[in-house]
Amino acid sequence: QALIGRELANSQVIVVSNREPYIHERDESGEITVRRPASGLVTALEPITRACGGVWIAHGSGSADRDVVDSRDRVAVPPEDPSYKLRRVWLTEAEEEGYYYRFANEGLWPLCHIAFVRPKFRREDWEYYKAVNARFADAVVAEAAGPSPIVLVQDYHFALLPRLIRQRLPEATIVTFWHIPWPNSEVFSICPWREEILDGLLGSSILGFHTRFYCNNFIDTVDRFMESHIDRELSTVSTGREATLVDDYPISIEWPPEALAGASSVEVARQTVRERLGIGADVKLGVGVERFDYTKGIPDRLRAVGILFERHPEWIGRFTFVQVAAPTRNKLEAYQGIRSESEQAAEEINSRFARNGWRPIELLIRHHEPAEVMELFRAADLCVVTSLHDGMNLVAKEFVAARDDERGVLVLSTFAGASRELLEALLVNPYDNDGMAEAIDRALKMSEAEQRGRMRMMRELVRDNNVYRWAGSMLLEAARMRRRRAIRKRM
Ligand code: G6P
């Protein structure tokens, strides 16, 4: 944190993402409330932005967002202790539909995640995507206090933004992070505007991915579709004068998480959560927490819980699985389908195995605030993260961070980037329901000593490779680039 502050002492930092870190809503009584959205990106970026100050530009999406901004569409956040400015960009309904729902979430999202959902690409959505990227470029230029800010561009909503900023602020240091996987070049070539997207991203000074595998996929894609110079040893790519450094920076969380401050003891959390959900004190608890997204593998996971009771009936009445699912991108068909499929799976399993007031599955479909999620993690005996495909997955790291008692077992998909780091989790194939059921059984039977050994290793890793290290290594690299450029200029 101190290092970030020192390196950036004289630089202006501008963060750009689609999702805003604070959403102002008006409730039924007319009161304004503030919500923290469910987004791995926001979880990671927020502590960093608090540490560097500056401006965060994002789409204003809450019903009361307009009521709290000043004449420049800015509001100081966090509400309880303001340390930076949130600048909101207003999108029309048509823009939100074309750029966010359709091009980003019906095109790029399934293109980059292996979940066997067909990406949809339509010319009119592409036009909106381009137009909205240009609108955010205007906002960055308007916020830039000088010719060379450090701009942190986030995610697949803004593939064209780095180039657009580069054209207007050639001296800017543009650090782009792609929070989702990058597919192999054959898959990527489905996108009719693949060259434009690659060129847009190559406007960055640094382009980051979670894993080396995604970096290699990206470099191969450039190699295949662009006239370029690639230096595989330095991991740089250039199509013109300036090279882009393409490197892996595994994202992480704040250590310890803010939401843990003031948390009650694990014993109290165990009791409170069980009482609230009507689960007996001696019943073991498993949790899953995610947005209701088809990449998260929720229906398969629920079916695995069903198989557990079938194969290991000794757990009937002795284990409950709580799945928190936050509604997300509801307008899209693929998302509506996943909700009904999960509800159906939960109902089937509940009607088959429930008895004497005990239910095997609790499906809680609503947004949970970070402190509530932490409480659930602390109350649980195990946490299941079985994404079909996931850039990193921060829920896995949050569960580990929540367990300062060194207890609890993490069951983790090998297709989540986090599985490259959290090697002491029970790693599973999310397409293998029988295998997942056996892993849950193994987790439920794991000795305290083994839990402690595994949890301790994972906690050390998340503590050391926390989000400050993630941002710090990118920002230090950016600072180095700026110094090199200053030296070159003087020569
Ligand atoms: C993923 C994406 C983020 C996004 C988050 C929540 O983590 O990489 O960019 O913010 O999902 O999705 P939403 O569409 O609600 O912002």
3-class secondary structure per residue, the chain: CHHHHHHCCCCCEEEECCCCCCEEEECCCCCEEEECCCCHHHHHHHHHHHHHCCEEEEECCCCCHHHCCCCCCEEEECCCCCCEEEEEECCCHHHHHHHHHHHHHHHHHHHHCCCCCCCCCCHHHHHHHHHHHHHHHHHHHHHCCCCCCEEEEECHHHCCHHHHHHHHCCCCEEEEECCCCCCCHHHHCCCCCHHHHHHHHCCCCEEEECCHHHHHHHHHHHHHHCCCEEECCCCEEECCCCCEEEEECCCCCCCCCHHHCCCCCHHHHHHHHHHHHCCCCCCEEEEEEEECCHHHCHHHHHHHHHHHHHHCHHHCCCEEEEEEEECCCCCCHHHHHHHHHHHHHHHHHHHHHCECCECCEEEECCCCCHHHHHHHHHHCCEEEECCCCECCCHHHHHHHHHCCCCCCEEEEECCEHHHHCCCCCEEECCCCHHHHHHHHHHHHHCCHHHHHHHHHHHHHHHHHCCHHHHHHHHHHHHHHHHHHHHHHHHC
pLDDT (tens digit, 9 = 90+) per residue, 369-428? 999 999 999 999 999 999 999 999 999 999 999 999 999 999 999 999 999 999 999 999
Angle of helix 40-52 relative to helix 394-402, nearest 10 degrees, comes to 70
Structure tokens at 23: 């959403």
Distance from C-alpha of 378 to C-alpha of 268, rounded to nearest angstrom: 9
Residue 394 near ligand 1, beta carbon < 6 Å: no
pLDDT in tens, 302-340: 999 999 999 999 999 999 999 999 999 999 999 999 999
Tell me, in angstroms, the distance from the centre of ligand 1 to residue 266's CA. Answer: 30
| C-beta 270 within 6 A of ligand 1 | no
241 within 8 A of 203, measured Cβ to Cβ: no
- Would you say the CB of residue 416 lies under 6 angstroms from ligand 1? no
Distances (CA, A) of 398 to 155, 174, 194, 255, 382: 21, 29, 35, 9, 13
Q: Is the CB of 179 inside a 6 Å radius of any atom of ligand 1?
A: yes
Ligand 1 pocket test, candidate residues 15, 16, 17, 19, most atoms within 8 A of CB:
19
Average pLDDT across the chain, whole number: 96
For ligand 1, is residue 387 a contact (CB within 6 Å)? no
pLDDT of amino acid 125: 98
Tell me how far apart the alpha carbons of residues 119 and 96 are, in angstroms, rounded to a whole number: 18
Question: Which pLDDT belongs to residue 354?
Answer: 97
What pLDDT is stored for residue 270 in this prediction? 98
Q: Which residues contact 358 (CB under 8 A, 6 or more apart)?
A: 279, 280, 283, 317, 320
Q: Find out whether the beta carbon of 45 lies less than 6 Å from any atom of ligand 1.
A: no
**Mean pLDDT, rounded, for 244-248:** 98
pTM for the whole structure: 0.97
Q: In this prediction, what percent of the chain has a pLDDT beyond 70?
A: 99
Verify whether ligand 1 is closer than 6 Å to residue 36 (CB atom): no
**pLDDT tens track for 64-99:** 999 999 999 999 999 999 999 999 999 999 999 999
Q: Is 176 exposed, middle or buried (0-12, 13-18, 19+ CB in 10 A)?
A: buried
Rounded-to-integer distance, Cα 80 and Cα 223, Å: 48
Q: In this structure, which residue's CA is closest to atom 8 in ligand 1?
A: 179
pLDDT surpassing 70 at residue 3: no
Distance CA 441, CA 314 (A): 10
Q: Which amino acid would we find at residue 297?
A: G
pLDDT value of position 1: 66
* Centroid of ligand 1 to alpha carbon of 158 (angstroms): 13
Ligand 1 proximity of 58 Cβ (cutoff 6 Å):
no
pLDDT at residue 51 above 80?
yes
Is the CB of 19 within 6 Å of ligand 1? yes
pLDDT in tens, 464-487: 999 999 999 999 999 999 999 999
Confidence of residue 490 (pLDDT cuts 50, 70, 90): confident
Index of the ligand 1 atom closest to the CA of residue 180: 8
- Is pLDDT above 80 for 489? yes
Segment 266-291 mean pLDDT: 97
| CA 309 to each of CA 126, 289, 299, 318, 360: distance values in angstroms, whole numbers, following the listed order | 47, 21, 16, 10, 9
The pLDDT assigned to 289 comes to 98
Closest-lying ligand 1 atom to the alpha carbon of residue 42: 10
Per-residue pLDDT at 428: 98
- 185, pLDDT greater than 70: yes
Q: What is the pLDDT of residue 9?
A: 72
Question: How many residues does this entry show for the chain?
Answer: 491
Peptide bond preceding 360 in cis form (omega within 30 of 0): no
CA 310 from chain centre, in angstroms, equals 34
Among protein residues, the one whose CA lies closest to atom 5 of ligand 1: 39
CA 364, CA 341: separation in Å to the nearest integer? 14
pLDDT for position 240: 87
Pocket flag, ligand 1, residue 98 (CB < 6 Å): no
* Residue 66 to residues 61, 73, 90, 98, 356, Cα–Cα distance (Å): 9, 8, 9, 22, 50
Q: Which of 123-127, 215-219, 486-490 has the lowest mean pLDDT?
A: 486-490
Lookup: tokens for 431:
């397409």
Nearest CA owner, ligand 1 atom 16 = 19
